[in-house]
Chain A
Amino acid sequence: MPIIAFSSDSYQKSGEIAVKTAEALGYKCLDRKILRSVAAKHDIPEENLIKALDETPSFMGMSSKAWKRYLIYIQEVVLGILLDDNVVCHGLAAHLYLLGISHVLKVRLFEGREARAGIIAKQERVSREKAKKIVRRKEKQRKRWSLEAFGRDETDPSFYDMSINISQIDPGEAVSMLVTATGYRKFKPMTYSMECMRERELTGRVRVALLKDFPNAMVQARGSAVVVEIKALKREKSRKISAVKELVGNISGVHHVEVHIIKDIFREAAESGR
């Protein structure tokens, strides 16, 4: 059965619809509660993970390195759970790392700007004009976040199978549409789409294993073979290849590791100048 991945500007509203959809379909609902176990697994504060999902790195805030690390931790755990399918997922940016998997129904839930400005004006007791500015600022922040984290603009409707304006179409009707959509043949898991999902999950685990020593490694899994791309100097080549193979080779599901070395031209230039 399919997976439904929600994207929304409002965690609370998408949460309501996600829970109702999961109930109607008898699916599991995966949300930010999962971050507690991610935090426990890697011994980091849960708040940092929430922050990583909402904010971009900044000079005064989270460092870029930590931000990327947190996102990789989250992806690893989420992808592991999504292997089971029959899951409704929201608030974890799954729509951005599940692109190209055919049994994932990607849905964007949004509210009209006027409606959002109305809510903000009421909640924060500010003028309508100021509330509109806040809405625009938040939209820009969100767009920036998704572009920096995954190189995709999450507000672009072409990433989604369906985008629903929840200030116009009430949650009950949205749920009914989604329940109908999940019944369509094209969202049924197939051997190939399940294989793609397994590869993503394996990639997630490999990235976590390499994170400490090779934080910038590029990883791609094809079946049980894993290709890792890292930067290194000529003299480090064999040492780094064996280090990667040792780290990745023991991961369950990995039968073959291939390491590609990219010339680290900046370090090479720096060393030759010495």
Chain B
Amino acid sequence: MMAIITISRRSYSKGKEVAEKVANRLGYDCISRDVLLDASKGFNIPEVKLIRAIHDAPSILGRFQHIKQVYIAYIRSALTQRVKADNIVYHGLAGHILLKGIPHVLKTRITINLEDRIAEEIKRKPIGKNEARSLLLKDDQERRKWTKSLYGKDPWDSTLYDLVIRIHKFSVDDAVNFICQAVGLKQFKTTDVSQHKMDDLAIACQVKAALVDEFYDVAVTSEYGNVIIYTKTDERPGHKFKQKVKSIENKIEGINNLEVHKGVPYPPEAI
């Protein structure tokens, strides 16, 4: 059995426990923070900055939106590099959005009552019930705003997932059983076509990550290693851009052909 499982969760929602048990049962790798460490190492950015980028909602003025986009491109590149090897359970932030369009990804969400989450937080931190409640609510709002502002999606919208399980009457082990049962379905098995899609996404993410710091407003697609970089301006690309593209072509593995398309609308699947 080969597949990728993303487990979306709120803090203290037992999602981590579910992810670890699923990975253990299926013999998959279980990742979350590892992606941030990879991104931090690969792009030489302190981990704390990456954490802030994927946690805090953008400010009202959107001053740090650009930096956030850069960091997220790094994180997405690190994530796709990790998961393209398959047999992975990812329980970090926004997996279902960052891996959108890959057929063999089972997208799940674990929910739990606020009261149960408060009890869990109190167990782990020396704080009172009211403080725990306000911290959790604030955290939920930050995460919700983050996903909405960057991707225009509400993470609480169940239609983004394949399976949503509420830990209340169902236990963690029940949730593990359901996820393992669902991932056995043929639609979540890795096929040659779906693996190609995954590889293409990983290449496109790598290209975007290599460009995004200096050339923020670009979009990238890849189809069987044929990469297209889209730019909004109609003008001739500058020398710096040309050099960067050339270096990318030589540096990133799996690229068959690389083209730059200027002044055309970005296709919806472009990242």
Contacts and interface: CB of A to CB of B under 8 A. Distances in A.
Interface of A: 102, 105, 108, 110-113, 155-158, 160-165, 168-170, 173, 176-177, 180-181, 184, 186-187
7 contacts: A161-B168, A162-B164, A163-B158, A169-B182, A173-B182, A176-B181, A184-B170
Contacts of B177: 180
- Most chain-A Cβ atoms within 10 A of its Cβ — which of B111, B113, B164, B177? B164
Contacts of A181: 170, 174, 178
B159 to A, nearest CB: 6
Contact of B187 (A110, A168, A177): A168
8 closest Cβ pairs, A-B complex: A163-B164, A157-B158, A186-B169, A168-B162, A165-B162, A163-B158, A157-B164, A161-B166
B109 interface: yes
B215 interface: no
Would you call the interface of chain B mostly helix, strand, loop, or mixed?
mixed
B170 A177 contact: no
A112 B159 contact: yes
Would you call the interface of chain A mostly helix, strand, loop, or mixed?
mixed
B266 interface: no
A260 to B, nearest CB: 29
Contacts of A156: 156
B185 A158 contact: no
B166 A158 contact: yes
Given A158-B166, A162-B165, A186-B169, 17 more contacts: A102-B169, A108-B158, A108-B164, A110-B158, A111-B159, A155-B158, A157-B111, A157-B166, A161-B168, A162-B166, A164-B162, A165-B162, A169-B162, A169-B185, A173-B185, A184-B174, A187-B169
Interface string B165-208: 11011100010011001100101000000000000000000000
Contact of B163 (A105, A163, A170, A186): A163
Nearest to B114: A158
A24 B111 CA distance: 28
Contacts of A111: 159
B224 interface: no
B12 interface: no
A170 B163 CA distance: 12
Contacts of B162: 164-165, 168-169
Contacts of A187: 169
A8 B166 CA distance: 17
A170 B182 CA distance: 10
Given A155-B158, A181-B170, A160 B185 contact: no
